[in-house]
Structure 1
Amino acid sequence: MSFKIAIIGAGSVGFTKKLFTDILCVPEFRDIEFALTDINEHNLQMIKAILDKIVESNRLPTRVTATTSRREALTSARYIISCVRVGGLEAYADDIRIPLKYGIDQCVGDTICAGGILYGQRNIPVILDFCKDIREVAEPGAKFLNYANPMAMNTWAAIEYGKVDTVGLCHGVQHGAEQIADVLGAKSRSDLDYICSGINHQTWFIDLRLNGRKIGKDELVAAFEAHPVFSQQEKLRIDVLKRFGVYSTESNGHLSEYLPWYRKRPEEITKWIDMSDWIHGETGGYLRHSTETRNWFETEFPQFLASAEKPIDPSKRSNEHASHILEALETNRVYRGHFNVKNNGVITNLPADAIIESPGFVDRFGINMVSGITIPEACAATCIASINVQRMSVHAAISGDLDLLKLAVLHDPLVGAISTPEEVWQMVDEMVVAQAGWLPQYADAIPAAKERLAKSTVKTRDWAGAARRNVRSIDELRAEKAALKQAV
């Protein structure tokens, strides 16, 4: 087979390498072309060097090109994969820093909450530019695979306004299933079957079978509480399991952002989180992790390049959906996964226009979703609260309506549990002014926002959050890695 895959935001080096090696685990895909594109020439050349080394070491005919011209990369592409982070770590730091001034403590802030909503405002204009290029220069009928957050907002915009065949992909379902298989003592992950449904980052394991035997709430609670690690790292998720009756896909820290009961007061945050790793609830945890990862990669690039000489091992193919979807579409080997698509009745008790995450099967005929699923009422209620915020956020990003953006932020569950309308209005003004360079749709509204900020009487505070850790230096990371290796 010979076709072209374009990867936008290919400078996300580690993730791009994973997708690349996964795809080349499919024997029929040896002769394809990967077109890498990114606005960061430095990162682009680093990832190209790594992928070239993989191709050379494995003696493959695969072609790898790299260009800062997105349109050139997309020309004649059959599949387009997006891994972009618009605004990079600079804008992301404001997504965390500014809401903290108003008492809003986020662990990740990339899906909803104040940070996730502004992240969507930066991304959506760019996503629509991608879609325009795809319609004009990609292969007719090209499929857009979006990995970038905020998943639901980006996918919603691409489908409804970009008019491109789009599917959103995430790995939360797979990671949650791995935990469940672990606590239940499954000999293999394939022993666990499940139906998981909801919206991205709020997806719920509504049916679990271990070797065909149905697993109920009480057995699952007992298994998690008895686990020496997860009982401490996933306290909030376990509490939600007890109350809702089903386990959530999302990490302890991320889930705490969508359910304000656990994160609206500093003393509650420290009660429910775990500081052993960023993902369990640390203030700005993902920002710290991303910063350290970037610094580590820059310093340790020669080691990453050397590791690319290893042969590709199909037995180590990851559970990221992209390679499996492409394999099913091109070879007709059926793949079952969980995909982000427009609802249109797939989940009976969520809005038709929402982007849902639910099971589907892929073959030559495309992605075929399992329809008629009803999720528990409490799960639907929390999902709908987020969907309403996502819908307003997408429409605000498309129209450049600053008042609608403020209403979206006001209706966010965590923001609404902490901030007054007056505080929200000022916070959004401050965020759009700080990020004006990435928000072209609000250009006309920025001068008035600056004037309001100059006259504002709303008080803010200098607060690092309830559970903040400092970014570790390269030397500290090396020392911790060495100590961990020695302990093992």
Structure 2
Amino acid sequence: MSFKIAIIGAGSVGFTKKLFTDILCVREFKGIEFALTDVSEHNLQMIKAILDRIVEANKLPTKVTATTDRRKALEGARYVISCVRVGGLEAYADDIRIPLKYGIDQCVGDTICAGGILYGQRNIPVILDFCKDIRDVAETDAKFLNYANPMAMNTWAAIEYGKVDTVGLCHGVQHGAEQIAEVLGAKSPRELDYVCSGINHQTWFIELRLNGREIGKDELVAAFEAHPVYSRQEKLRIDVLKRFGVYSTESNGHLSEYLPWYRKRPDEITRWIDMSDWIHGETGGYLRYSTETRNWFETEYPQFLEAASKPIDPSKRSNEHASHILEALETNRVYRGHFNVKNDGVITNLPQDAIVESPGFVDRFGINMAAGITLPEACAATCISSINVQRMSVHAAISGDIDLLKLAVLHDPLVGAVSTPEEVWQMVDEMVVAEAAWLPQYAHAVPAAKERLSKSRVKTREWAGAAWRSVRSIEELRAEKAALKQAG
């Protein structure tokens, strides 16, 4: 087969390499073309060298090109994959740092909450630029695979306003299923059959069967509470399971910031989180992890390049959806997965314009969703709260309406549990001013926001959050990796 895949934000080095090797595990795809594009020439050349090394080591006819000219990369592409983080770690630091001044303690801050909403404001105008280029220069009916957060907002904008065939992809469902299979004593995750449905990062395992046997709430709670690791790391997630009756896909730390109950007071935060890894609830945990990962890659790049010389092992193909979707579309080998699409009857008790994450099947006819799923009422209520925030956030990003943006942030469940309207109004002004370089749609609103900030009397505090850890040095990371290797 011969076709072209464009990867936007290809400077996300580790993830781009994973997608690349996954796709090349499909035997029919050896001769395709990958066109890499990124705003960072430095990162682009680093990842191209790694992928070239993989191609050379495996004696493949695969073509790899790299350019900062996005439109050139998209020319003739059949598939476009987005892994972008608009504003990079610089803007992301403001997504975490500024809300902390107003008492909002986020673990990740990239889906909703104050950080995720502003992240969406930066991403959506760029997503629409991608869509215009796809319509103009890519193959007719090219498919856009969005991996970038905030998943629902980006996908919503691409479908509703970008008018491009778009699917949003995430790995939260797969990871949650692996946990469940482990606590139930399965020999392989393949023994677990499940229906998982909701919205991205708030999907729910509403049906579970292990080797054909139905698994109920009580058995699942007991299995998690008996597990020596998850019983400690997933305390909040287990509590939600007990109260809602179903398990959530999202990690302990991530789930905590989508709900208004567990993260609104410092003493409650420390009660529910675990500090053994960032994903279990650490304040700004993903920001720290991302910063350390970038620093590690920059320093240890020669090792990454050397590792690229190893043969591709199809048995180690990951469970990321992209390669499996492309394989199904191109070869007609049917693939079942969980995809982010416009609702349109997929979930009966969520708004029809929302972006939902739910089961579907892929073959040469496209992505075909299982329709008519009904969520438990508590799950639907929680999802609807986020959907309403997402909808306002998308509309604000399209219109550049700062007042609508403030209303979106005000209605966020965690923000509303922590902050007053006056605090929210000032916080949004401060975030828009700080991130103005990436928010062209709000350029007209920045002078007035600066004026209001100069006169504001809303008090803030310098606070590192309930569970902050500093970014570790390369030496500290090396020592930790060496200790783990020795212990394991």
Q: Structure 1 length normalisation: TM-score?
A: 1.00
User: SS of 1:482's equivalent?
Assistant: helix
Other-structure match for 2:108: 108
Shift of 1:33: 0.1
User: SS of 1:362's equivalent?
Assistant: strand
Shift of 1:260: 1.5
C-alpha separation in 2, matches of 1:163 and 1:473:
45
C-alpha separation in 1, matches of 2:354 and 2:259:
19
Other-structure match for 1:164: 164
C-alpha separation in 1, matches of 2:211 and 2:348:
28
C-alpha separation in 2, matches of 1:344 and 1:458:
43
CA RMSD of superposed structures (Å)? 0.3
Encode CA deviations 1:131-190: one digit per residue, 9 max, x unaligned: 000000000000000000000000000000000000000000000000001000001111
Q: Counterpart amino acid of 2:475?
A: D
C-alpha separation in 2, matches of 1:307 and 1:193:
35
C-alpha separation in 1, matches of 2:345 and 2:351:
8
C-alpha separation in 2, matches of 1:163 and 1:484:
48
Encode CA deviations 1:185-215: one digit per residue, 9 max, x unaligned: 0011110000000000000000000000000
Runs of 4 or more off by more than 4 Å in structure 1?
A: none
Q: Counterpart amino acid of 2:364?
A: R
User: SS of 2:454's equivalent?
Assistant: helix
Other-structure match for 2:276: 276
Other-structure match for 1:119: 119
User: SS of 1:158's equivalent?
Assistant: helix
C-alpha separation in 2, matches of 1:375 and 1:382:
11
Percent identity, please.
89
Q: Trace 1:65-80 onto structure 2 (pairs within 5 A).
A: 65-80=65-80
Other-structure match for 2:393: 393
C-alpha separation in 2, matches of 1:41 and 1:260:
41
Q: Trace 1:397-416 onto structure 2 (pairs within 5 A).
A: 397-416=397-416
Other-structure match for 2:141: 141
Structure 1 segments unaligned to the other structure (5+ residues): none
C-alpha separation in 2, matches of 1:190 and 1:108:
29
Shift of 1:85: 0.2
How many positions carry a matched residue from both structures?
A: 488
Shift of 1:319: 0.1
User: SS of 1:336's equivalent?
Assistant: strand
Q: Counterpart amino acid of 1:470?
A: S
Shift of 1:224: 0.2
User: SS of 1:66's equivalent?
Assistant: strand
Other-structure match for 1:197: 197
C-alpha separation in 2, matches of 1:423 and 1:56:
56
C-alpha separation in 2, matches of 1:206 and 1:9:
34
Other-structure match for 1:23: 23
C-alpha separation in 2, matches of 1:452 and 1:413:
25
Other-structure match for 1:439: 439
Other-structure match for 2:292: 292
Q: Counterpart amino acid of 1:313?
A: D
Other-structure match for 2:4: 4
Other-structure match for 1:183: 183
Encode CA deviations 1:259-304: one digit per residue, 9 max, x unaligned: 1210000000000000000000000000000000000000000000
C-alpha separation in 1, matches of 2:482 and 2:276:
17
Shift of 1:339: 0.1
Other-structure match for 2:383: 383
Other-structure match for 2:207: 207
Shift of 1:436: 0.2
C-alpha separation in 2, matches of 1:394 and 1:80:
22
C-alpha separation in 1, matches of 2:82 and 2:109:
19
Other-structure match for 1:259: 259
Encode CA deviations 1:9-48: one digit per residue, 9 max, x unaligned: 0000000000000000000000000000000000000000
Q: Structure 2 length normalisation: TM-score?
A: 1.00
